[in-house]
Amino acid sequence: MGRRRGIMSEALKYELAKELGFYDTVQQEGWGGIRAQDAGNMVKRAIEIAQQSLVQQNHKQE
């Protein structure tokens, strides 16, 4: 099976890790060192940011 391509950029992942408070863990242990809950929160926050971006784009088009 081929390797899956990441949807989030590395820069966004690091930004979210800083925002959510587990950046130090990522720096020390890599992405495999974070808890599943932290990974889920990171995905949830990325979705929120994407939704906000879409709302802003839609308001600009009106």
Domain boundaries of the chain, sorted by first residue: 10-61
Alpha-carbon dihedral sign for residues 14, 45, 20, 41: negative
pLDDT of residue 2: 52
pLDDT tens by residue, 24-50: 999 999 999 999 999 999 999 999 999
pTM for this model (two decimals): 0.79
Rounded Cα distance between 36 and 29, Å, is 14
